[in-house]
Amino acid sequence: MKSLPPNPWPWREGSVVVILLLSLGWLGLAAPSFFKPAALWPWLTSVAPVLLIATGMFFVIVGRQIDISVGSQFAWCSVLAGEAASAGWPWPGILASALLAGLALGALNGLLVAGFKLPSIVVTLATMVTLRESLRAWREGEFVRDLPDSFQWFGLGQSLGQCWVIAAALLLWMILWIASVRLSVFRWVYAVGSNAEAARLAGLRPARITFGLFAFMGLLTGLAATLNAVRFTDVDPKTGAGLELQAIAAVVVGGVSISGGRGRLWGVLAGVLLLACLPSALVFLKWPPHWEKAIQGLIILTAVAAEGVHRARSRGRED
């Protein structure tokens, strides 16, 4: 029995990057105003929170789980941060409240999935609705207003604030990218996603790692919610709707296998940026913006189907 040829070039991630560069180039030519600072910075600022969510989702999916309650967690963290701000808390307190809220909500998911061994799709489906509805019951649609001036843009004004938001997201992403390759706890996630049984035999503890995945996702959600909330002067309780699908789409497009165990974070960055170009691309193509959700769904299906076809073919090739 011959072994297969050496590791293939990362064609999935590579192709996403290529498509991304092509799209950006095309946009630059067709709609140069896209790259003017006045448009580019706000765009990047809006992408920053999505990048963080997608990063958390990356680890969840690599660990062979899924979390569709992220959007509802995001809303809760945003509102809590806003409430903390309007109650006059200093910035460290505001940040802490968002992070802790996210951590707690993520830990809840983790407990149910890892502790009771329930499938993550059903658990996060239930927590998604419960969280969303409970928030609606509390706020009844009411925005969090009367925020102190120090809230928006951290009190630094728009241009500096935008820099901070983008820098924070990018920096954290980079740290996590390096960590995903070099920090052993993150490699454990890959191990568990690749073969949970072997992980157990190797002395890793799949249940704890799975719990950690959801808790970490919650933490990142809290941070992302904060970075997003500072863009505005008030907090909309309906924020975060559809965020989970955006994140999953970005991760899947970025070349991560839905069956876990493999994937590269730089692919996720490319995926996030590519999907974020979508609204602008639609505007240019003069397509109505309402096509966004449909295209997102189509992208998920195509990416997953492509992986399925590829896997079926490589299975057949092992003769």
Partner 1 sequence: MRTPLSGETGRHELVLMAFLAAELLLFSFTGRRFATAENGFEILRVSVEFGLLALVMTPVILTGGIDLSAGSLLGLCAIVLGKLWRDAGLDPGWASALALAAGAAGGLLNGVLIARLKLPPLIVTLGSFSLFRGLAEAITQGVDNFTGFPDSFLLLGQGYILGAIPAQVPIFLAVAAGLWLLVHRTPFGRSLRALGYSPEGARFAGLPVGRNLILVYVLSGAGAGLAAIIYVAHLGQAKADAGTGYELLAITAVVLGGASIFGGKGSVHGTLLGLAALAVLKNGIALSDRPSEWVGMATGALLLAVLSGEAMLKKMSARVPRSPTRDSTSMPSGSP
Partner 2 sequence: MTPLSPPSPGLELRGIDKAFGPIQALHRVDFDLRPGEIHALIGENGAGKSTLIKTVAGALEPDAGEIGVQGRTFRSLTPRLSRELGIAVIYQHPPLFPDLTVAENMRLFLGPARAFCVIDRSRQIERARECLAAIGSNLDPTLEAGRLSMPEQQLVEIARALAAGAQWLILDEPTAALGADDASRLHQVLHALRAKGAGCCYISHRLEDITGLADRVTVLRDGRKVACLPAAEATGREMIRLMVGGERPPSDSSPPHVAQPDSSAPGTRTSPDSVLMRVEGLGCKSSHLREISFELRRGEILGLAGLVGSGRTELARVLFGLDPLTQGTIRIEGQLCRIESPADALSLGIAYLPEDRRRHGIIAELSVAANTSMASFRRMFPRGWLDLARERCEAQSWIERLRIRCQGPETLAGTLSGGNQQKTALARWLATSPRVLIADEPTQGIDVGAKAEIHRLLQSLASEGLAILLLSSDWPELLQLSDRIGVMRQGRLTAFFSKQEASPEAILSAALGHEVTAA
Binding residues for partner 1, rule: CB under 8 A, are 66, 68, 112, 116-119, 121-123, 125-130, 132-134, 136-137, 140, 197, 245, 248-249, 252, 258-259, 288, 290-298, 300-301, 304-305, 308-309, 312
> 251 or 273: whose CB is closer to partner 2?
251
To partner 1, the closest distance from the beta carbon of 109 in angstroms equals 10
Q: Are 222 and 99 a contacting pair, CB within 8 Å? A: yes
Select the residue interacting with partner 2 from 56, 161, 193, 271 (CB under 8 A): 193
- Is 199 a binder of partner 2 (CB under 8 A)? yes
Dist. CA 19–CA 15, nearest whole Å: 6
Reading the block at residue 130, the tokens are 């419960």
Give me the phi and psi of 230, to 5 degrees please. Answer: -70, -5
- Is 216 a binder of partner 2 (CB under 8 A)? no
Select the residue interacting with partner 2 from 241, 262, 284, 307 (CB under 8 A): 262
Dist. CA 259–CA 79, nearest whole Å: 34
To partner 2, the closest distance from the beta carbon of 120 in angstroms equals 19
Q: Identify the sign of the CA torsion 96, 99, 102, 103.
A: negative
Which residues lie across from 235 on neighbouring strands? Answer: 144
Dist. CA 48–CA 269, nearest whole Å: 10
Binds 198: which of partner 1, partner 2, none (CB < 5-8 Å by kind): partner 2
Reading the block at residue 122, the tokens are 């059903």
Dist. CA 189–CA 202, nearest whole Å: 13
- Is 183 a binder of partner 2 (CB under 8 A)? yes
Interface with partner 2 (CB under 8 A): 1-7, 181-185, 187-188, 190-191, 193-195, 197-199, 201-204, 257, 260-262, 318-319
